[in-house]
């Protein structure tokens, strides 16, 4: 890309953004005052590895329930984890609460990247996004959409993820000193709506004239992807325990996968099917026909479901509570346990021999 074309990217893209910016509940339209740092930070945490469409209803519920960072800081841990259920990557929710409390103690969000990076759960990307979008700092914001746009503009041949540092350096050469937040959001919008991963719409791209990938005739092959490694397969058993029309729900340990969340009891997650290992009581277990599969970031989980009835006079586990069978979705269970609950309700009748 020529120096002249590189200098033209920001003006061209900002002009396009002024006319075509997506309307999102955490944004301020171009030409209006910047959004509150709380809204920018909250949206960026929610958007990590999650689609805009999935985040919008959660963002709207969160900001209606906790309209300020101080209100969020005062939330009970279990209350917030329940509200987060279904968004996945639950460490984000724990960090969200820790960060809200830290921000409230210090009296507000820092207005630069260095200060933002000191907050719990805030990494380089989130710090840059909040600094640029909320405080108009000249920070370089690089998410997956921006990586794709930059990889194509410069036809970066190095495979991902090794190319990430180079892409960030190249993105920094494009970031303007003024309107850095609008520029970051323009890059995101371009990647989300025009420079998409498949079939990019080069004919309507405002910066297509300088795109090196387009000049190759095959822009969709950028960014170059490294060969994917197969995810490990793990197995486990979920225990569906009923009593008087209610189902036993437990709280998972604070540390570890799905930490702090309400869940159905489980046995260990192992490399081979564990059967009834870890069953919480000596009950008359019935192995159900449905199985549940779920893909986590680092492994795929295949779960059996074992069901049993607990007599009224049996003690409830210390970390357990009973939820009506038909209202389990209100318990704030992670997605994998919602899947299991639906399967168990369809297949298991405790009155059927």
Residues labelled as active-site residues: 44
The dihedrals phi and psi of 225, each to the nearest 5 degrees, come to -100, 135
Pick from 2, 4, 3, 14: nearest CA to 177: 14
* Angle in degrees, 0-180, between the axes of helices 124-135 and 180-193, rounded to the nearest 10: 120
- Number of neighbouring beta carbons within 10 Å of residue 10: 21
CB 340 within 8 A of CB 264: yes
Largest CA distance in the chain: 80
- Number of neighbouring beta carbons within 10 Å of residue 12: 17
CB 235 within 8 A of CB 303: yes
Pick from 253, 254, 256: nearest CA to 265: 253
The dihedrals phi and psi of 301, each to the nearest 5 degrees, come to -115, 130
The dihedrals phi and psi of 234, each to the nearest 5 degrees, come to -125, 160
SS3 state at 100: helix
CA gap 144, 142 in Å, rounded: 7
DSSP state of 219: G
CA dihedral 175, 177, 182, 186 (to 10 degrees): -20
Measured in whole angstroms, how far is the alpha carbon of residue 210 from the centre of its chain? 33
């Amino acid at each position: 890309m020529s120096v002249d074309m590189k200098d033209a990217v920001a003006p061209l893209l900002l002009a396009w953004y002024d006319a075509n910016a997506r309307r999102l509940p955490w944004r301020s339209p171009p030409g209006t005052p910047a959004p509150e740092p709380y809204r920018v930070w909250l949206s960026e945490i929610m958007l990590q590895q999650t689609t805009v469409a999935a985040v919008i209803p959660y963002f709207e519920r969160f900001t209606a329930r906790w309209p300020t960072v101080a209100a969020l800081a005062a939330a009970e841990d279990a209350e917030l984890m329940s509200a987060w259920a279904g968004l996945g990557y639950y460490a984000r929710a724990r960090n969200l609460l820790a960060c809200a409390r830290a921000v409230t103690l210090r009296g507000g969000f820092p207005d630069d990247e260095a200060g933002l990076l000191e907050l719990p759960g805030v990494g380089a990307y989130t710090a840059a996004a909040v600094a640029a979008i909320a405080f108009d700092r000249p920070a370089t914001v690089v998410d997956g959409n921006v990586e794709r746009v930059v990889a194509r503009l410069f036809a970066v041949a190095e495979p991902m993820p090794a190319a990430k540092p180079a892409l960030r350096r190249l993105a920094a050469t494009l970031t303007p000193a003024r309107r850095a937040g609008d520029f970051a959001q323009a890059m995101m919008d371009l990647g989300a709506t025009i420079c998409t991963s498949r079939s990019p719409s080069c004919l309507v791209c405002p910066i297509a004239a300088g795109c090196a990938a387009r000049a190759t005739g095959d822009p969709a092959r950028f960014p170059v992807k490294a060969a994917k490694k197969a995810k490990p397969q793990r197995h486990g058993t979920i225990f569906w325990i009923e009593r008087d029309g209610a189902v036993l729900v437990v709280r998972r340990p604070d540390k570890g996968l799905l930490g702090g969340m309400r869940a159905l009891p489980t046995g260990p997650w192992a490399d081979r099917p564990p059967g009834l290992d870890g069953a919480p009581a000596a009950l008359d277990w019935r192995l159900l026909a449905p199985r549940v599969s779920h893909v986590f970031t680092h492994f795929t989980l295949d779960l059996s479901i074992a069901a049993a009835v607990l007599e009224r006079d049996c003690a409830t586990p210390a970390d357990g509570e009973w939820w009506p069978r038909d209202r389990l979705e209100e318990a704030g269970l992670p997605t994998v346990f919602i899947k299991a609950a639906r399967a168990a309700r369809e297949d298991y009748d405790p009155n059927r021999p």
